[in-house]
Chain A
């Protein structure tokens, strides 16, 4: 069984991470009835004898004593991390896993990437190495951050390139929260484009998530639960949007949105943690979904999202779950994959679903989904026997689809609007190590990426003749 380390950087990264750890504990508590520290738990948690970090680590199979998250928490402001350490999850982290500073990055990618990146390089590498050494077999680093600010965006991508340098064999899966158009940070396009280049060059897979989509999803759920008659049948410990049953205090504004992203990570790792008849390891994700090195942006979509809020829809209608997952309302970025080109698609199913149900749904949906000519049956499937808490089954779809192109193009446009006028550029150029070429290079990298997707889109719909086969002299 392999282990993964979660690296959460910046305010957004740490808030999402916090939800993730809360939900993960809840999920394992639900499944693990005997209090034994099993392989599933060990994938994300260590088991130590004392509350202090120097407590001896216990091997798999013993009783659960004190669980410590396999995580590194980085933030250049103390606010969020302090909250975590004062909250109910304080026992799950110890001081050696944290790296904080006081003044923040001022929403400046360069401050995060260059200034703090250099100043804290040794410490960051040290903490990462320690986390890695505590793993028997480290398979994957999960990086959680946002793109629009300074720490998550700048320092986060610096951590990413450090991960590639120090641990080249370990898979790097990045969950990036992209700012909405109405973001209140004016220079978020600069930060995002500068960070994008790093993601394109150093990440194995990126799961882009847009705040706007999350807001829309949460609003829908709230509307539906307000509409429905909430009687005795409503499951209250649904982990999709609610903190109820968890360890947190009163709910805060971004909590519901962060829950969705945390659920994304839980579903992604479920097959690696629990058993099933068709397992999928994390290294299979990149293998199957990334046909060309740069095109590793995978659009996530989760289902069910609403059904528990609407008591009239039975949550086990599998075909409904499948159809929903492909509709544009369920995508975690604002995109419509059905009208763009699929390069590859992964279906991660959790719960009591049989392979024939899965196949039937694939066959049913396939005609409406355009796939690239050389990958007409580009499906990667996995079946994990353990469903999420409160549901009979669930589906996570990760699509490598050209529908990310409009998102990137919009980002590029917002960047260009600012860059043309050299607005706010001086904030960046004042930082040591930053030259203007950094901006043009990042812009070019993004343009090249968009060009790659355009080229694929150009042949969409035109029937491609099969390349001639090798002929054998007979």
Chain B
């Protein structure tokens, strides 16, 4: 089954291009038979000349980034984008969510819907959509939300998982918190699940784990692409009966997003190290999984600086609403293991009921996907997709800053002139306070 990616705005198009790059180079490593076939089918459309065209729609309100993505993709020699699947305008959205959502989105609705329909119809079986976007700007956030709404209208039964990039806390765009709040509140009603990467976190991974001195957005996007690729590439799941899963998005959603109030998913991957070190490292599953589990419960985003003091509460404490300091309660977890000896990896520790909220059995809350094919040069790698309190603090900060700014009504005139009212802002704040409250009470 095939996945259609919709790349929105500068971030979405840059991340998307890196994602397809990682996937295509992983898929085209030799002697992988079914894996390569499944991966290509899932993400690429093969033309009669044998060329691989990404199953993607590229949308941006200004042309420079899409042009760059087209060129970069073509350079790889392994795959490219279909130029006919691109849509760009001349003038951007001005970092204004309202401009993207109320003006550009509706204005270009027909053309963009047609492009998405075309990609969807080229799939033998459609697994669902992944809109890729940032929340800080105007196009990714505003047009991205509008496009998600269109997708929901046209394909009410399809799975839609949005991939969001959250900006650096110390600001790339001044009104980023407004744009983020408006986006998240709307997507909560439209998406099946929201997969989040934070620039701050990925930046730390680049500097501390990958030891990159001068980190560029290209480096950040490659890490995001690696983590996303390790989730989305073919794997054997509990429901797939010995073959590669035909319904990856559906299974992801049913494994992790079982409740409409809990849709925020975070990602951690282990190991991550400079390319040059991989050859000198050996990995064993028990060590990898132990670190990953501790990363989960202590809400560490990477395998350096993990706080080993954090422990799940003992059984006696669980009846009270207290949790230990720094303990990250999960609603559900999905572990994706790839590489050598994967079937002998012991994952029982992740099924510990103490990790999870009390109203879901740990059997339902935890799922494992496996693939014996090593991913992206790592002999063994493990990725954890988690629906937990991991994003709670960032979300709370984001809403707090936006609220602070809203209280002084700064910049509101810029949104009002494009069609958003103060009421709309209040509705979005209310929705997110509800989400924050739900996650905070997850015990």
Q: Which residues of A contact B (CB under 8 A)?
A: 1-2, 39, 136-137, 139, 275, 277-279, 281, 283-284, 286-293, 344, 354-357, 359, 362-363, 366, 373-381, 466-467, 469-472, 474
Contacts and interface: CB of A to CB of B under 8 A. Distances in A.
B437 A472 contact: yes
Contacts, number: 135
Interface in B92-119: 92, 94-96
B278 interface: no
A288 B203 CA distance: 24
B65 A279 contact: yes
B96 A287 contact: yes
Given A287-B175, A378-B174, A1 B215 contact: no
B141 to A, nearest CB: 13
A362 B434 contact: no
A187 to B, nearest CB: 35
Given A277-B218, A281-B62, A472 B174 contact: no
B254 interface: no
Interface stretch (B163-171, B342-350, B371-379): B163-171
A2 B90 contact: yes
A172 to B, nearest CB: 14
A192 to B, nearest CB: 27
B286 interface: no
B189 interface: no
A134 to B, nearest CB: 15
B309 interface: no
Contacts of A279: 10, 62, 64-65, 92
A354 B218 CA distance: 10
B89 to A, nearest CB: 8
18 contacts: A2-B62, A275-B68, A277-B217, A281-B92, A283-B92, A288-B95, A290-B414, A292-B413, A354-B216, A355-B215, A355-B216, A362-B170, A378-B171, A381-B172, A470-B426, A471-B433, A472-B433, A472-B437
A377 B172 CA distance: 9
Interface stretch (B120-128, B326-334, B385-393, B399-407): B399-407
B411 interface: yes
Interface in B395-441: 399-401, 403-405, 407-408, 410-411, 413-414, 426, 429-430, 433-434, 437, 441
Interface string B240-262: 00000000000000000000000
Given A275-B68, A283-B94, A293 B413 contact: yes
A354 B403 contact: no
B360 interface: no
Contact of A359 (B14, B170, B175): B170
B154 interface: no
A147 B218 CA distance: 45
A293 B411 CA distance: 8
Contacts of B96: 283, 287
Interface centre among A286, A287, A362, A373, by most B CB within 10 Å?
A: A287
A435 B64 CA distance: 51
Nearest to B436: A472
B207 interface: yes
B47 interface: no
B284 interface: no
A469 B95 CA distance: 25
Given A283-B92, A284-B173, A377-B171, 20 more contacts: A2-B91, A275-B64, A275-B68, A279-B62, A279-B64, A279-B92, A281-B62, A287-B94, A287-B138, A356-B203, A357-B214, A359-B203, A374-B408, A377-B169, A378-B174, A467-B403, A470-B426, A470-B430, A470-B433, A472-B433
Contacts of B313: none
Contacts of B430: 470, 472
A278 B217 contact: yes
A292 B437 CA distance: 32
A213 B203 CA distance: 39
A405 B254 CA distance: 58
Contacts of A275: 64, 68
Nearest to A363: B170
B63 interface: yes
Interface of B: 10, 14, 62-65, 68, 90-92, 94-96, 138, 168-175, 203, 206-207, 212-218, 220, 399-401, 403-405, 407-408, 410-411, 413-414, 426, 429-430, 433-434, 437, 441
A215 B169 CA distance: 39
B407 A467 contact: yes
A210 to B, nearest CB: 26
B188 to A, nearest CB: 14
A41 B433 CA distance: 48
B217 to A, nearest CB: 5
Contact of A469 (B10, B138, B168, B433): B433
Contacts of A293: 413
A466 B401 CA distance: 9
A78 B257 CA distance: 72
B321 to A, nearest CB: 12
Contacts of B216: 277, 354-356
B171 A374 contact: no
A281 B91 contact: yes
Contacts of A355: 215-217, 220
B434 A375 contact: no
Contacts of B399: 469
B169 A375 contact: no
A68 to B, nearest CB: 20
Nearest to A289: B174
Given A137-B90, A469-B400, A470-B433, A287 B95 contact: yes
Contacts of B410: 291-292, 374-375
Nearest to B221: A277
Given A279-B62, A283-B92, A287-B95, A469 B171 contact: no
B91 A283 contact: yes
Contact of A474 (B206, B215, B441): B441
Interface centre among A278, A363, A377, by most B CB within 10 Å?
A: A377
Contacts of A291: 410-411
Which 3 pairs from chain A and chain B are nearest by CB?
A283-B94, A137-B90, A356-B215
B422 to A, nearest CB: 13
Contacts of A137: 90-91
A337 B401 CA distance: 24
Nearest to B410: A291
A284 B94 contact: yes
Contacts of B90: 1-2, 136-137
A472 B434 contact: yes
B434 A366 contact: no
A289 B171 CA distance: 13
Contact of A467 (B175, B203, B404, B414): B404
